[in-house]
Amino acid sequence: MTSRQTALLIAVAAIGLTLAQDVRPGLDLYHTWQYAAAMTIAIILIVAYAWGARSGSDGRAGQWIALGLAGALTVAVGGLLSGLIGPDTITVNGSPGSVTPVPDLAAAAFFSPADPQTIARGDATVSLRRKGADAIAVPAGGRVFLGTSVVYLTSRPAAYIVAHDARGNRLTVTQPTNPTFLSPVLLFPQSQPLKDKSYPLDTFATPGIHRIARALFFSADDAQTFNHLGSRQPALVLSVDDDNGKSVGLSIVPSGRDVAVGDLHVAATLGTFPQLVVASAPHPAALIIGLLVFIGGVGGSFVGPRRSTSLRVPAAGL
């Protein structure tokens, strides 16, 4: 393999490793020493080739390649710095209608209120607000670049609980063990291992009738093991105790159905609620510019020398 081919191959690899940070942000890989070492080696080799080639040591084509490698270098340095000094990946949690400060972005995350339909559809939104600036909506499935960070949403299991007593009176739902005390939306911050799998776990209370419930979240696939449900719905496995810790009952609550567990009637709408993820990533504008320069340089290496075929010099030994 020639040195030019080697340099190009390394440049393509470095660009790929950097683009990965924007395409699949938040991976631990970008903050490992192995990633940093690979990028540093790539940068050294790119510089070594481009330094010689720019002065014509590899011909006209090599000079074009050196220009292209300058673009690749921009991309690779961006990728290295983002991995080395960019912030660690942060997951920001908030309950519906709440505000969570995000000091790393000097902003606050506003989690939209959620009704049962919003939870079922999983389309609750999050917006970021910075002092003196317009709110930035973070779309589901989309990404927002803020400086050297990329912000995006992931989904977590959620359940909207509506509780009634045996006479049909609606009950207040509280979450004594969670930061949001007065919320009927469970966000399952804990997990419970069962056999070889871990299931999301949360707790809520209905102080009006002195009941405390532990809820295990089973996805639609997991809930298939409960054959009698008959439909492909996520479900809660609900274990209800009284104030003294005495068991009142245990039941499966499929999403959207009203189920009695002792004297507690529970209807749960299951779905997802967003959580905000902040990860370091090079700004795509810098990557695009670098990539265009790289493509231009490589393209020029083919076009440029062909044009010069008309340039002929007298052969030695006339």
Partner 1 sequence: MRCVPIRTRERRANPGLLAGAIIIGILLTGCYSGGGPKRTIDGGSGGPGSLAGAPAVSYDVKRLDGQTDALSRYRGSVVVMNLWATWCPPCREEMPALQQLYRENKAKGVVVLGVDQGESAEAAGSFAREHGVTFPILLDADQQYGRSYAAVGLPTTVIVGRNGHVMRGIDGQLSLAQMREAVGPALRAQ
Binds partner 1 by CB under 8 A, chosen from 16, 24, 51, 88: 88
Its sign, for the CA torsion 13, 18, 24, 28, is: positive
Q: How far is the CB of 318 from partner 1 (least distance, A)?
A: 6
User: Cα–Cα distances in Å, from 159 out to 118, 186, 217, 269?
Assistant: 11, 5, 8, 5
154 binds partner 1 (CB under 8 A): no
In the region spanning residues 4 to 23, those forming contacts with partner 1, defined by CB under 8 A, are 4-6
> Residue 283 Cβ, how far from partner 1 at the closest point, in Å?
19
Q: Using the rule CB under 8 A, is 303 a contact of partner 1?
A: no
Among 68, 78, 79, 184, binds partner 1 (CB under 8 A): 184
Q: Is 58 in the site for partner 1 (CB under 8 A)?
A: yes
By CB under 8 A, tell whether 266 contacts partner 1. no
Distances (CA, A) of 196 to 12, 193, 218, 238: 41, 7, 14, 20
Q: CA-to-CA distance for 237 and 218, rounded, in angstroms?
A: 8
Give a three-class secondary structure readout of 246-296: CEEEEEEEECCCEEEECCEEEEEEEEEEEEEEEEECCCHHHHHHHHHHHHH
Told to check if 313 binds partner 1 by CB under 8 A, we report yes
Our finding on whether 84 is near partner 1 (CB under 8 A) is yes
Q: What's the min distance (Å) between Cβ of 140 and partner 1?
A: 19
Q: Does 95 bind partner 1 (CB under 8 A)?
A: yes
CA distances from 87 to 160, 239, 253 (A): 34, 41, 41
Instruction: Enumerate binding residues for partner 1 (CB under 8 A).
Output: 1-6, 28, 30-33, 36-38, 40-41, 44-45, 48, 57-60, 62, 83-84, 88-102, 109, 111, 113, 115, 168-173, 178-185, 189, 207-208, 308-309, 311-315, 318
